[in-house]
Amino acid sequence: MPAWLKPSLNWLLIFVPVAAGLHFAAPDAHTWIFLASCLAIVPLAGWMGKATEHLAERTGEGIGGLLNATFGNAAELIIALMALRQGKYEIVKASVTGSILGNILLVLGASLLAGGFKFKTQSFNPGGARIQSTMLVLAAIALLSEALFHHAGGPAAVAQEASLSVWISVVMLATYALGLLFTLHTHKQFFISGGKTDGGDDSGHGHGEHGAAWPLGKALGVLFGATALVAWVSEFLVGSVEHAAESMGMSHFFVGVIVVAVIGNAAEHSTAILMALKNRMDLSLSIAIGSSIQVALFVAPVLVFASYAIGPEHLGPLNLVFTPIEVFAVGAAVIIVHQIAGDGQSNWLEGVQLLSVYLILALVFYFLPESAGHVSMPETTPAPAH
């Protein structure tokens, strides 16, 4: 059978012109525009992942994981920026939550499950994994702190939320930058492969199973070309998301946390799972956990600062006040990942556990009433009568 006739995600590239055609020719067909845009982003994100995989083959585990995490998150960042520009702040926050959950529960869970079916037990450096999972705990504390400030501070706290978000964003960005220094320079030995596993050979470590590495120019060209197309299609997706969610009986909250995040995570899905199947668990964990760290400590603060430049003026800047259910979901996900990442070994059952938590949270978000996806404003307590 000719290679071009074999089943491939590349077949979905046809939805790029389809989404564009619907957007310009039938702008009121919101559901079809949304579905076509989602299907178009999946192969584009896959090509971004493929290009970064070839770039990562020229580097070590630490830099390779950072490259995959950075460009894997590019699709999600672009979607969030488009929503930010259109003033859809709740979609922006929901997509941040969904991206964190999708990376550490769905992507990592699928990677552990796939790798665990091929190898009985897989090993990774426990020191590096614990450091990364602790960074996730820090991110959860940052989200929890501002949510508590909002709900416990009363009406007087609301006026201070924008300033607090800026200062917390500064701390998060500084911590992320220092984390990169630690990972890539001063303590890079923590992110070196833990060696062979039990129950399988080490033959999966080869870089050339799927052909020779691309030339640097080709890898960069594909990466930037796919990124530009993702930005273009994301504008169609964001513009149709609210009407499409209503017509399909889904809350905007569910679409942001689950649907948009799953679409944006396509690059991490393909690369992290492939690395697990190659028995390169340090790189697989670095992609999945590193992506969540990057979203929480880099992408979220960047969106706060970007809102001052591109957010609608009448809405004011974006803050980091997430709903209680979002804070709980992130906290629960961080706890179970911290438990799994501490011993330096993984198996397929741990993948099932992560996927089970993701499924439970997805069901909660699906059945959650639309009103619960909004941040409630503290009620003003009337002054006592004299």
pLDDT in tens, 124-150: 888 888 888 899 999 899 888 988 888
Query: What distance in Å separates the CA atoms of residue 147 and residue 372, rounded to the nearest whole number?
Result: 14
Q: Which two tokens stand for residue 86?
A: 């259109």
SS3 345: strand
Task: Return the CATH number of the domain spanning residue range 28-203+216-370.
Answer: 1.20.1420.30
pLDDT band at 199 (very low <50, low <70, confident <90, very high): very low
pLDDT, residue 381, reads 46
Find out whether 105 and 350 touch, Cβ atoms under 8 Å.
no
Mean pLDDT of 211-232: 82
Q: Among the residues of the chain, which ranges form H helices?
A: 15-25, 30-56, 61-72, 74-85, 89-101, 108-118, 126-153, 155-158, 161-181, 216-247, 252-254, 260-264, 266-277, 281-294, 300-310, 324-341, 348-367
- Comparing 25-39, 101-115, 365-379, the range with the smallest average pLDDT is 365-379
Biggest CA–CA distance in the chain, Å, is 88
Residue 346 DSSP class: E
pLDDT, residue 207, reads 44
pLDDT, residue 206, reads 41
On the question of pLDDT at 314 being above 60, the answer is yes
Cα 282-267-3 angle, rounded to 5 deg: 110
* Environment class of 7 (CB within 10 Å of its CB; exposed 0-12, middle 13-18, buried 19+): exposed
pLDDT, residue 215, reads 85
pLDDT, residue 359, reads 95
Mean pLDDT of 217-240: 85
What is the pLDDT of the chain when averaged over all its residues? 82
Domain ranges in the chain are 28-203+216-370
Mean pLDDT of 191-204: 46
**Which one has a higher pLDDT value, 331 or 382?**
331
